[in-house]
Structure 1
Amino acid sequence: MTTPSPPAAESELAAATWAGLRSLVLDKHSRRTEITEALGMSFIRAKALRRLARGELSMRALAQEMATDASYTTLVVDDLCRRGFVTREPHPSDRRRKIVRITDDGRAAAAVADQILAEPPASLLDLSPADLAALNRIVGSLVEGR
């Protein structure tokens, strides 16, 4: 069974809303520069640290989660090892595989990135309490798929 298409005006409004949300999150309030300046590393390295803060991964799994190829992931991990943010050790049951673990210094750097990413943009803080509550309700329903 196919879902009927919304009327053209609703489709256009949905497309404009989506473009606005993407611009808000990806362009206008991108925190990438803040993170790279605060940590002195590329955003992808910070992304790797943030992921590894949730638990160790094999090199292959880290590459998959970051959507990077194996050789680039190796470069990222090599740099993070040199900085003392991660360790790379043989897998306990398969010595051909490597496990990447975050260090205390790496966990602290990941926490800085998380703190920067968690800070709401000024434009969001400038909304009235009623508008903010309405937006929160709408975003919650979109995320939950209600």
Structure 2
Amino acid sequence: MTEAERVWALMQDLVLHRHDRRKAVTEALGLSFVKTKALRRLAPGPLTLGELAELLHTDRPYTTIVVDDLEQRGLVSRTVHPDDRRRRLVAVTPAGAEAAAAAGRLLSEPPPFLAALDGDELAELGRLLTKLDGAG
């Protein structure tokens, strides 16, 4: 195993296994993560089903199923698109906006291992992550 592979495995274990915030979000909201993700994508403003499907990286039929469930729960609503009556816009309701905000708060809370690092360590980690982000 190369050093890059070892470090990548450590990063995956930290983020995807030991400190996966998706589980906390799904348990807190009682929604699958894709439904939570849909609410978060819709929170800034209404989207068509096609636009939402693209942002979720899902196909339109599956996105329709997701939106149907969110609509039944009172978290989103559909309206006629003002420029094309054949299309519908999906928007969060006030309850959907609150659920999206709650998910955002849970997802942005740093895990204890990160909060335990001192300022210099956080700065170095931030510098390295910024460097990696610029490499892609």
Q: TM-score, normalised by structure 1?
A: 0.86
Please give the residue correspondences for 1:88-107 in structure 2 after superposition, counting only pairs within 5 Å.
88-107=78-97
CA distance, structure 1, for counterparts of residue 13 and residue 87 of structure 2? 40
Aligned match of 2:56 in 32, 45, 66? 66
Is 1:40 equivalent to 2:30 in the alignment? Answer: yes
Q: Which residue of 2 aligns with 1:54?
A: 44
- State the AA in 1 paired with 2:60: A
Instruction: Write the letter of the residue equivalent to 1:131.
Output: E
Using the alignment, how far apart are the partners of 1:126 and 1:142 within structure 2?
22
Instruction: Return the letter of the residue paired with 2:5.
Output: A
1:116 and 2:122 aligned? no
SS in 1 for 2:78: strand
Give the Å deviation of 1:71.
1.4
Structure label with greater radius of gyration: 1
Cα offset, 1:96, TM superposition: 1.7
In the alignment, the residues of structure 2 paired with residue 62 and residue 20 of structure 1 have an alpha-carbon distance, to the nearest angstrom, of 32
Q: Which runs of 5+ in 1 are unaligned?
A: 1-10
Distance 1:58 1:52 in 2: 10
Between the aligned partners of 2:15 and 2:37, the Cα distance in structure 1 is 16
| Secondary structure, aligned partner of 1:84 | coil
1:24 to 3, 6, 14: 14
Gaps of 5+ in 2: none
* Alignment deviations for residues 86-136 of structure 1 (CA, whole Å, 9 cap, x no partner): 111121122221111111111100000000000111111122332222111
Number of matched pairs = 136
Q: Tell me, in whole angstroms, the C-alpha distance in 2 between the residues paired with 1:97 and 1:56.
A: 12
Cα root mean square deviation, aligned: 1.6
CA distance in 2, matches of 1:31, 1:141: 24
